[in-house]
């Protein structure tokens, strides 16, 4: 990425602007892929890795028709699980993680999904992003989950710098003002989807273009102008 993070005052300005320009959390928003409980939220989040939303939805629907709790999930054969989740891709790896996750959940937590990031990340298949998503949606903890959109936005703009999404999440936890954590996840994702696109970002109409580290770097190199 090669950029220094923005200063605290600049980061504050960025989030003030995004809070006005981007939609926040919708009242009554449910967990990952609209799952109703922490266990199903975890499974759905695991299935969503490198998968389109529509494919993840198809996979979760098919799997939860067969089983909705860890004990009943473990009663399924490997073939039943892989066949159900095939639409979301990487189904052999995800099926193994689902089985290991259910075994660890029953063995270490009596089948109850834990509420802390550290404990969630002890479970197979649950990384920092999934843990933060489950914490926010299932347990109401204010945290910013870093997916590909948030990772891209933070590093391009200079809000937080990290080579990996997890490194960015750790940096963001240090740089973001406390008031941001309630809805910052939603602002950053929507900004990444609507404005700061992976390809052809809409820099010309970007509401934070005057603060963006990437644009400043491009201007120094002569790759950008005020009208780009």
Give the active site residue among 33, 94, 129, 214.
129
Cα–Cα distance, 48 to 55 (Å, whole number): 8
pLDDT of residue 26: 56
**pLDDT bracket for residue 227 (50, 70, 90):** very low
pLDDT of residue 69: 95
pLDDT of residue 1: 45
Q: Are 43 and 124 in contact (CB under 8 A)?
A: no
Q: Assign domain 8-25+144-220 to a CATH class.
A: mainly alpha
Q: Would you say residue 153 has pLDDT above 70?
A: yes
Query: What is the reported pTM?
Result: 0.85
Assigned CATH for 32-139: 1.10.340.30
Q: Would you say residue 25 has pLDDT above 70?
A: no
Tokens of 24: 């926040």
129 catalytic? Reply is yes
- Location of each CATH 1.10.1670.10 domain in the chain: 8-25+144-220
Alpha helices, DSSP H, located in 110-202: 117-120, 128-139, 148-157, 165-175, 184-194
pLDDT of residue 224: 56
Q: Using one digit for the tens of pLDDT, what is the confidence trace for 184-209?
A: 999 999 999 999 999 999 999 999 99
163 catalytic? Reply is no
Q: Using one digit for the tens of pLDDT, what is the confidence trace for 157-169?
A: 999 999 999 999 9
Percentage of residues in the chain with pLDDT exceeding 90?
80
Q: Using one digit for the tens of pLDDT, what is the confidence trace for 51-93?
A: 988 999 999 999 999 999 999 999 999 999 999 999 999 999 9
Cα–Cα distance, 146 to 164 (Å, whole number): 10
Give the active site residue among 33, 94, 132, 147.
147
- Location of each CATH 1.10.340.30 domain in the chain: 32-139
């Amino acid at each position: 990425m090669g950029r220094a993070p923005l200063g605290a005052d600049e980061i504050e300005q960025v989030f003030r602007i995004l809070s006005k320009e981007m939609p926040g959390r919708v009242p009554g928003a449910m967990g990952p892929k609209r799952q109703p409980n922490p266990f199903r939220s975890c499974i759905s989040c695991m299935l969503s890795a490198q998968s389109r939303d529509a494919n993840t939805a198809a996979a979760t629907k098919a799997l939860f028709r067969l089983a909705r709790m860890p004990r009943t999930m473990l009663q399924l054969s490997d073939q039943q699980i892989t066949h159900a989740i095939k639409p979301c891709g990487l189904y052999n790896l995800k099926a193994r993680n689902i089985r290991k996750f259910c075994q660890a959940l029953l063995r270490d937590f009596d089948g109850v999904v834990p509420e802390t990031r550290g404990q969630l990340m002890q479970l197979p298949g649950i990384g920092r992003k999934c843990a933060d998503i489950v914490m926010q949606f299932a347990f109401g903890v204010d945290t910013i989950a870093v997916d590909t959109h948030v990772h891209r936005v933070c590093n391009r703009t200079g809000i937080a710098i990290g080579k990996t999404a997890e490194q960015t999440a750790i940096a963001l936890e240090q740089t973001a003002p406390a008031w941001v954590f309630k809805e910052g996840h939603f602002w950053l994702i929507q900004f990444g989807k609507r404005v700061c696109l992976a390809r052809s970002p809409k820099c010309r109409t970007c509401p934070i273009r005057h603060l963006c580290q990437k644009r400043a770097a491009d201007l120094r190199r002569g790759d950008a102008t005020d009208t780009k």
